[in-house]
Each structure stands twice: as structure tokens, then as C-alpha cells.
């Protein structure tokens, strides 16, 4: 939805009323100290950084840690699901219904082994590609057409060791590369909410 205001009629007079656009940003990950700073938790890490920049804090609510910010007239809800990765869709669907936010105004931030570290891509739709968090969202929403921000973590693991890799922590060299990538991800989140997914993809994906 591109229109951010509409006309209403009150007492036979024209009045202008602003429609508050709402967005839901879900950073995927697993709760618990043992999962902090692991590759699979990059979605949590991005939202933690965004919350720090905006000087807001998360509160534990149903199915997620939740925070809210305003950007360019938009209300942006951030959630870090507490359902664990494999049930991410349960949290996303609950908050979509709770806040009355359509799927087009959601953005899921996820790790992606198909992209090397340093590559970040926004997509409007796509398959889960074996990612359990995305598979859960696909199952709960009944569609593959939901926006997602794919944060590349690479695939530098031996055959059969994918689980160990994604649940492992970033190496020291990788850790040094993360700050500008996380910063870029936050910029892409803001852009998605301000100018939409198509223009954001055109600007950042190239």
C-alpha cells in the first residue's frame, strides 16, 4: 500500500486524516545463551542493533520479544520469536493477526548459506530452500510470497555438517566483517518500510 493518507467526511466537511502505516519485522533465531552470536541468530543480531540505534528496548510478550519504533511516519514493530527457529511461523502469524498487518508489510530477516558472507539480498518471495524457519513461515502463512532479507553466512562446512555450521559461532575473521553488514541490513529495513520492497531491492541488491 503506497498511499499514506485518505480523506474522510465529518459533519459534512472535508477533513484530512492520516493512515498510520504499520510494518512487522521478524528477525529469526533461537532463544538462549547457547545460541547467542551463532550464524543462525543473525536475524536477532540485526534487530538488536537496530533497537540500539533507535534507543528502544524489547519486552517479552506472547511468542516473541517485541519492540516498536517510528520512522518517516511509519510504525515499525520488531519481533524476535521465542518459539525457536523451527516454529518461527507461529510467532509471525500471531503478530500479524494481533497487529492487523498484511503479509506485504512484513519482512523476515534470516541467515542464508546460499549467499557468501558479505552478500545481503532482499526478495519478495521464494522457497524455504531447506531453512526450517522459513519452512515454518511458509506452512503457517500458506504461501511462499512473503518478503525476506537474506543475510549471507556462506557454506564453508563439510558434507553433512550444515547443522553444526549454522548453529556454530562466527569465526574471529567473520566477526570483524559483521558490523558494516549488520548496519546495511538495518538501512534496508528502514528503506523497506519507507519506500517499499521494489525500490529497496533496486537500490540495495545491485
One of 40, 63, 66, 77 is an active-site residue; which one? 40
Quick one: which H or E segment has residue 174?
helix 172-195
* Cross-strand bridge partners of residue 76: 23, 69
14 has catalytic annotation: no
d(CA 122, CA 25) in angstroms, rounded, equals 13
Cβ atoms within 10 A of the Cβ of 146, count? 22
Q: For helices 42-54 and 172-195, give the axis angle rounded to 10 degrees.
A: 60
CA-wise closest residue to 80 among 49, 112, 117: 49
Q: How far is CA 107 from CA 14, 90, 115, 175, in A?
A: 35, 15, 18, 24
* Exposure string over 31-46, b if 16+ CB within 10 A, otherwise e: beeebeebbbbbbbbb
For residues 102 and 167, the answer to whether their CB atoms sit within 8 Å is no
For residues 155 and 127, the answer to whether their CB atoms sit within 8 Å is no
Annotated catalytic residues are 40
Amino acid at each position: 500500500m503506497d498511499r499514506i493518507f485518505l480523506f474522510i467526511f465529518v459533519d459534512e466537511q472535508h477533513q484530512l486524516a492520516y493512515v498510520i502505516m504499520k510494518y512487522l519485522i521478524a528477525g529469526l533465531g533461537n532463544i538462549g545463551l547457547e545460541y547467542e552470536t551463532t550464524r543462525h541468530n543473525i536475524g536477532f543480531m540485526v534487530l538488536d542493533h537496530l533497537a540500539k540505534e533507535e534507543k528502544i528496548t524489547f519486552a517479552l510478550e506472547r511468542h516473541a520479544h517485541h519492540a516498536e519504533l517510528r520512522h518517516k511516519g511509519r510504525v515499525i514493530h520488531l519481533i524476535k520469536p521465542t518459539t525457536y527457529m523451527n516454529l518461527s511461523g507461529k510467532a509471525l502469524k500471531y503478530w500479524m493477526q494481533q497487529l492487523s498487518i498484511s503479509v506485504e508489510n512484513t519482512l523476515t530477516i534470516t541467515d542464508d548459506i546460499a549467499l557468501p558472507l558479505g552478500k545481503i539480498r532482499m526478495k519478495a518471495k521464494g522457497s524455504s530452500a531447506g531453512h526450517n524457519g522459513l519452512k515454518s513461515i511458509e506452512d503457517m502463512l500458506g504461501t511462499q510470497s512473503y518478503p525476506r532479507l537474506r543475510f549471507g553466512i556462506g557454506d564453508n562446512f563439510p558434507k553433512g555438517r550444515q547443522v553444526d555450521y549454522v548453529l556454530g559461532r562466527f569465526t574471529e575473521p567473520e566477526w570483524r566483517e559483521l558490523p558494516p553488514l549488520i548496519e546495511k541490513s538495518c538501512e534496508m529495513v528502514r528503506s523497506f518500510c519507507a519506500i517499499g520492497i521494489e525500490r529497496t531491492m533496486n537500490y540495495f541488491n545491485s
